Structure 1
Amino acid sequence: MGCFISKSIDERGTKKKSGNGGEIAVFVPGLRTPKTIDFGRSLHSYLSPDLIDRISALRTRIVVMAAGEGSAATKPRRKTATQHGGSTLADLQQALEDYLPVLLGLTKEGSQYKDLVEFIWVNQEDDEQETAISNAWYEVLSVLHMMAMLSLSQANFLLIPKAHSDGYQPKVTEENKKGAINIFLKAAGYLDCAVRCVLPQLPDEIKRKLPADLNEGVLQALAVQALGQGVDIQLGLAIDNAKATLAVKRRLACEEVKYWHQAQESTSNLPLGGDWGVKHQLFIKWKHSEAKAAAYYYHGLILDEGNAENTHANAVSSLQAAEQFLKDSKKACTDFCQATPTTSVPPLWGAMKYLSEKIPKDSSSKAHMNRDVYSREKVPETPPKLPDFSVALKPAEYDLPPIDHRWRAEVDMQQYPVSSLEENKREGKLELFQIDQLKK
């Protein structure tokens, strides 16, 4: 939907696109898209024309497709959100996956090619600000980021309630909810790989040049909030399941709190600046408050079933905390939607549609029904601590793919130039089938 402006950390504050960001269920930074570059000029003295043409063609395909898909990917209200100009977001994702193994040849340990090409990317929300860095690992990082953002865009589209021809209110189908969970895990996997495998390859001077979108804290926040939204969907599914116990629902809500707390920690000290940086922090605050409202609600219900000393008073305190966090979440939602660029207030669905009705009702009724018991117990001013559960939802496993086999042939070609094939053959250095392969 929106973005962190794509610029170096010390260049924030320049103008960027704004306006109405539409309706969202998932905060999706704007796509960072690649600009055309000339591989031949940088690599003609180092690589064969065939390999240069191959890597250039793969990247050009992404440039062309991204130009058509970039705006559509972040406009979920459009029916063409996953199809534009005959191509789909899935096609763009596949193009990135095809490019990555060939690109990784430039990063091979000891490679002389890593710093030869200046890679240029620009955020679609800020066309005047581009980031150009001569390091192949920066390109790998940008590709992984784009793969993750496309995934979040797909999840966003699935989770926008859709109107039906039967006249019922717009809703999110169970199929879409389960599909979105899988997509969240994939997005978190791409971002986790970026932090774990790619950022450590970049020297500090390059890291300081990275745009705000690729800051380690931002990448970590996006990864854990993807997991948090996955758990939020799981909680909604548990609420709809008559067999799910209060303990199961409380655990899910408490796990969700931990994810959003991590997201808040990852971005709390970052000088994000700009409208979309502020908007992202408001989104985290909104969802964090929702998660705490759910967790304290189910914790209060479970405490109210106990018989230990002051248990019922702690239950009241928990339910009151849930009601307060619910109010905080509604305010944070309003602040988020009103923040520039403005977005539409999304309709309630899933867990919060249920809890927005149940929390005020149960908080009031429990206190009224048990007022005699509560009068004998001192209700604490601060709610009891939530249970500390280890989080269960993890990013989908994703590692960088193997380097494309064409690089093996490239190494052989440089070791045994075609001009000396017959001589190498006479000296017994190459088998016949190897010579045939190199000639091809």
Structure 2
Amino acid sequence: MGCTYSVYRKKKTNFPEVVVFVPSTRIPVQSDLQRVLKGVIPRDLVDKLTSLRNQILLVAEDTGGSAITELRRALNEYLSLLIGLTKKEYGLEGLIDFKWKHLEDGKQDSSVANTWFEVLSAVHLMAMLTLSEADSMMIPKDSSGSGFRVVSSDSKREAIDLLLKASGYLEFCLRDILTRIPPEVRNTFPHDLQEGVLEAIAIQTLGQGTEIQLGLAVECQKATLSVKRRLACEQLIYFSQAYHCLLGCNTNQGSGRKHLRFIKWKFLEAKAAAYYYHGLILDKGNESNSSIGAVSCFLAAEELLAESKKASLSFCLAAPVTRVPPLWGAMKFLHQKIPEVASRKSQMYGYLWEQEKGLQSLPDLPEFQLSLRPDDYELPEIDPAWDSRNWESLGQPLKEHLIDSDENPTD
């Protein structure tokens, strides 16, 4: 009697790479808008609202959020209809309980009866999709397997444009949507929609745009040391600001812990780059203390670089686990140059540095005005259906209908 052997191969876990950090993608939970809005607004308007909201949900779930163009188009159409529900003259702001969930695990994170919350969630989704698109621009589909990432300059510039657009969406959320929502309602929001989290993402997105700019400058022979130092210092400021925005938030929820580790990692990389380029500029000075200051900068950069490697690993290991990305941009160059220059310069000026190290502190980095700004964003125009004569088919004006509903509640 023969023996039958079954061979089971353990399924290989595919950990994604992250270049542009996308904190979390939230999508709508299917809701019965027709039941709530029946007889309140025209049926065709209800049908369009319901259809578009469900379309966003289904497309996002079917494609894992990768159908960005289709989702963006549906979101724009949905927003133009949704704006009508925010108009005070219609009295519909708190009529619908809007529910959203995480795309990654399908867990519902919110249920809020406020139309501006729905607008906020829709614009936030547009921002996350744009960040995801920028991330895909920075990850080539045909990996060379060399351990280094090769991305075209055009893709990098397009990624920067997308980052500015995403920051614009988030800036609009902070400036024009959150301010319309009562504090007691905002206090019920999930982690991803907390004011500090939104502000941190908006700022760090500009920092990542600057990071890509620095990489382009490193590759450009015409870019001066001053330009590179400025970009590194600006990147450092952006990530420092983003970190401070998160300090008041509960980072133990959702992707908060991973988000904080990402910012720390990028902060350390930016600081290492800033001290390296500052050291190169100081080293061009003629005075002996310039050389000592330069050595201090190079050694600080080397130490920060080592810390950034640990921070990178810490970020990747935080849930959800991601792959350690290959070196790219300025870091591909600096991971080699910083240790080399630090070693060479400390040998050249070691005797001076040993004499003065107790007397001279690490030189201050120069401060610069930040260059990148979020793109402007405005909500789309309200859908013409809200001005349609179909309102007459309801048999009574909307305000009267709502008054009647309030005066004659049903169980």
1:270 correspondence with 2:249? yes
Question: Aligned letter for 2:16?
Answer: G
Specify which of 57, 67, 90 is matched with residue 63 of structure 1: 57
Question: Aligned letter for 2:23?
Answer: P
Call closer, same or farther: CA 1:183–1:147 in 2, change over 3 Å: same
Q: Report the equivalent of 2:30.
A: 36
Q: Which moved more, 1:235-244 or 1:340-349?
A: 340-349
Rounded to whole Å, the distance in 1 between the matches of 2:145 and 2:176 is: 49
1:280 correspondence with 2:280? no
Call closer, same or farther: CA 1:218–1:61 in 2, change over 3 Å: same
Call closer, same or farther: CA 1:157–1:30 in 2, change over 3 Å: same
Specify which of 97, 119, 125 is matched with residue 98 of structure 2: 119
1:314 correspondence with 2:314? no
Q: List aligned pairs for 1:39-54, cutoff 5 A.
A: 39-54=33-48
Equivalent pair of 1:163/1:169 in contact (CA under 8 Å): no
1:372 CA displacement: 5.3
Q: Which moved more, 1:263-272 or 1:371-380?
A: 371-380
Rounded to whole Å, the distance in 2 between the matches of 1:320 and 1:401 is: 52
How many residue pairs were aligned?
Answer: 384
Rounded to whole Å, the distance in 2 between the matches of 1:379 and 1:297 is: 21
Call closer, same or farther: CA 1:398–1:106 in 2, change over 3 Å: same
For the residue of structure 1 that corresponds to 2:100, the secondary structure is strand
Q: Where has structure 1 moved over 3 Å in runs of 4 or more? A: 161-170, 370-382, 416-420
Equivalent pair of 1:123/1:130 in contact (CA under 8 Å): yes
For the residue of structure 2 that corresponds to 1:397, the secondary structure is coil
1:266-318 deviation digits (Å, cap 9, x = unpaired): 11221121473211111111011000000010011111112357222211111
1:146 CA displacement: 0.6
For the residue of structure 1 that corresponds to 2:101, the secondary structure is strand
Q: Report the equivalent of 2:132.
A: 153
Equivalent pair of 1:220/1:263 in contact (CA under 8 Å): yes
Q: Report the equivalent of 1:191.
A: 170
Specify which of 325, 328, 335 is matched with residue 346 of structure 1: 325
1:44 CA displacement: 2.0
1:42 CA displacement: 1.6
Equivalent pair of 1:39/1:52 in contact (CA under 8 Å): yes
1:175 correspondence with 2:119? no
Question: Aligned letter for 2:114?
Answer: N
Equivalent pair of 1:314/1:380 in contact (CA under 8 Å): no
1:128 CA displacement: 3.8
For the residue of structure 2 that corresponds to 1:131, the secondary structure is strand
Q: List aligned pairs for 1:324-343, cutoff 5 A.
A: 324-343=303-322
Identity over the aligned pairs, expressed in percent? 45
1:380 CA displacement: 5.3
1:130 CA displacement: 3.5
1:389 correspondence with 2:383? no
Call closer, same or farther: CA 1:130–1:370 in 2, change over 3 Å: closer
1:143 CA displacement: 0.4
1:136 CA displacement: 0.6
1:73-118 deviation digits (Å, cap 9, x = unpaired): 4xxxxxxxx4xxxxx2211111111111110111124440111111
1:212 correspondence with 2:212? no
Equivalent pair of 2:61/2:103 in contact (CA under 8 Å): no
Call closer, same or farther: CA 1:223–1:169 in 2, change over 3 Å: closer
Q: Name the TM-score, length of structure 2 as normaliser.
A: 0.87
For the residue of structure 1 that corresponds to 2:364, the secondary structure is coil
Question: Aligned letter for 2:61?
Answer: A
1:357-413 deviation digits (Å, cap 9, x = unpaired): 011111111222234554664465642211110110011111222222221226xx5
Question: Aligned letter for 2:56?
Answer: I
Q: Name the TM-score, length of structure 1 as normaliser.
A: 0.82
For the residue of structure 2 that corresponds to 1:269, the secondary structure is coil
Q: Report the equivalent of 2:274.
A: 295
Call closer, same or farther: CA 1:117–1:238 in 2, change over 3 Å: same
Rounded to whole Å, the distance in 2 between the matches of 1:193 and 1:92 is: 19
Q: Report the equivalent of 1:425.
A: none
Q: Report the equivalent of 2:121.
A: 142
Q: Report the equivalent of 1:405.
A: 384
Rounded to whole Å, the distance in 1 between the matches of 2:68 and 2:307 is: 36
Q: Which moved more, 1:19-28 or 1:332-341?
A: 19-28
Q: Report the equivalent of 2:20.
A: 26
For the residue of structure 1 that corresponds to 2:242, the secondary structure is helix
1:136-170 deviation digits (Å, cap 9, x = unpaired): 10100100111011111111112124436799965
1:347 CA displacement: 0.6
Q: Report the equivalent of 2:204.
A: 225
Question: Aligned letter for 1:297?
Answer: Y
1:20 CA displacement: 6.3
For the residue of structure 1 that corresponds to 2:304, the secondary structure is helix
Q: Which moved more, 1:49-58 or 1:111-120?
A: 49-58
Q: Report the equivalent of 1:3.
A: none
Call closer, same or farther: CA 1:330–1:403 in 2, change over 3 Å: same
Q: Which moved more, 1:324-333 or 1:26-35?
A: 26-35
Q: Report the equivalent of 1:367.
A: 346
Query: Which ranges in structure 2 are unaligned for 5 or more consecutive residues?
Result: 1-12, 397-411
Equivalent pair of 1:317/1:381 in contact (CA under 8 Å): no
Call closer, same or farther: CA 1:400–1:308 in 2, change over 3 Å: farther
Question: Aligned letter for 1:395?
Answer: P
